[in-house]
Structure 1
């Protein structure tokens, strides 16, 4: 009967960009991020690990370990990752890929991506294979760290998990990168000792 006023049109401030297939040929082209829960047996509470992995070299670039996990923590580790990789003065910044968790779809994170000049991609629901490298790391973390320890305190969990990530980056070998650790692989590429492997995602 044409008696209702027109509905207000919602404007999307940060449009959603779905993850696309691409070929990765070097470090700092595509990062993946996700959250892994852990359990502190002695205190009967969970802790959170939010990590950023470089898809090409498999290194954990930065991570947040805490009793809470919010958008501000994600912004902080993304800034830390850019500083570690010395990318703030570079024109090309990595794409960062995540699922649709609340930290990743927040306005705060979207604004930080805009500020840092980073493109953020979301994977479609129920497609963890689109975020396969961070999922693989969390599977390794579960089997080689979480399942081997009954954490008595959050402090103990923090120390053991941080030590595991340190060892993962520097010493743990990966069959997909010539049986090297991520840091060894990056150094071998820098010196021209190996042929970089293309990654299709």
Structure 2
């Protein structure tokens, strides 16, 4: 209608214009007479981006995707989306239907026919080892936060050094994808000046969608870092980053009202700066991560071994 109005206003013959744009003359003049507008179909109800638990707690769709990936990586990999729905309902008390699970499975490309495709990057299972220094093992995970003032979620993805407990780098955003994980790996290596070193840290993650993506796996290969993933339902294998996120929740997020994304960004930036530089850590002789690294380099404290 708007296109037809524009050309007719320029002096072109109305019948010719309407025939070209495919609008019936009667329809056109009827809408002109009663000032009716054409509305574009909005595609249905807006996707909320979260599911509810039985006690009405919101769970971000990205967290649900991570649970689905854990299920299809474990003994539940024989299930289709209908039985995966039942698993989510039983194991996580979610109020979720099979239609939504089908949509999430389709977005993850884990519906039954796709599971038989040969993986470009086979999964390396996290192994037990002893860490004797910094830059040997880094753990990464994603935490989801809720901004009450804007009724939406934000994402925080952090890299922690298992030995010195420093948050080496992190990503805060309204989205969190494989490319973001690849980027902070690269900047973390730059911060630690490791590009010229022969040995790179092992990167340990869970089975989240960011970490099984081709862009993240390709980045690990390019950067010569070994990527290992913990088995499904074993968060203790990623204990150090899980512990940091629990501390962040308790000491930062629960004590501040997040009215906007800008608030969340500033508050978390300030807390991580405090955590790295000034917060005392019991496992580090009551030193902050920065102080621990300095004192260890000077030989003022005794090195130890971390078993993971």
Please indicate the TM-score interval, normalised by the length of the shorter structure. Answer: over 0.9
Q: Distance in 1 between matches of 2:141 and 2:121?
A: 20
Q: Does 1:104 align with 2:206?
A: no
Other structure's SS at 2:231 match: coil
Following superposition, the deviation at residue 13 of structure 1 comes to 1.9
Q: Is the 8 A contact 1:33 1:98 kept in 2?
A: yes
Shift of 1:11: 3.7
Residue number in structure 2 paired with 1:5? none
State the partner residue of 1:173. 280
Aligned partner of residue 249 in structure 2, secondary structure: helix
Q: What SS class does the counterpart of residue 112 from structure 1 fall into? A: helix
Question: 1:146 maps to what in 2?
Answer: 253
**Cα distance between partner residues in 1 of 2:303 and 2:158:** 24
Counterpart in the other structure of 1:19: 126
| 2:301 alignment partner, one of 166, 170, 194 | 194
- Distance of 1:13 and 1:154 partners within structure 2: 36
> TM-score under structure 1 normalisation?
0.94
- The list of structure 1 runs, each at least 4 consecutive aligned residues, that deviate by more than 6 angstroms after superposition, is none
For the pair 1:35 / 2:137, whether they are aligned, the reply is no
Query: How many pairs are equivalent?
Result: 193
Does 1 or 2 have the higher relative contact order (CA < 8 Å, sep 6+)? Answer: 1
Query: Per-residue displacement from partner, 1:13-37 (whole Å, max 9, x unpaired)?
Result: 2121100000000000000000001
CA shift digits 1:30-73 (9 cap, x unpaired): 00000001111111111000000000000000000000001110
- Over the aligned positions, Cα root-mean-square deviation in angstroms equals 0.9
Aligned to 1:88: 195
- Give how far 1:10 is off: 4.7
The residue aligned with 2:95 is none
Corresponding residue for residue 225 of structure 2: 118
User: In structure 2, what is the Cα distance between the partners aligned to 1:193 and 1:102?
Assistant: 42
Q: Aligned partners of 1:173, 1:197: CA distance in 2, in Å? A: 18
Largest Rg, 1 or 2: 2
Q: Residue 241 of structure 2: which of 123, 134, 137 is its match?
A: 134
**Which protein has the bigger helix share?**
2
Gaps of 5+ in 2: 1-115
* Structure 2 SS opposite 1:152: coil
Identify the residue that residue 25 of structure 2 maps to in structure 1.
Answer: none
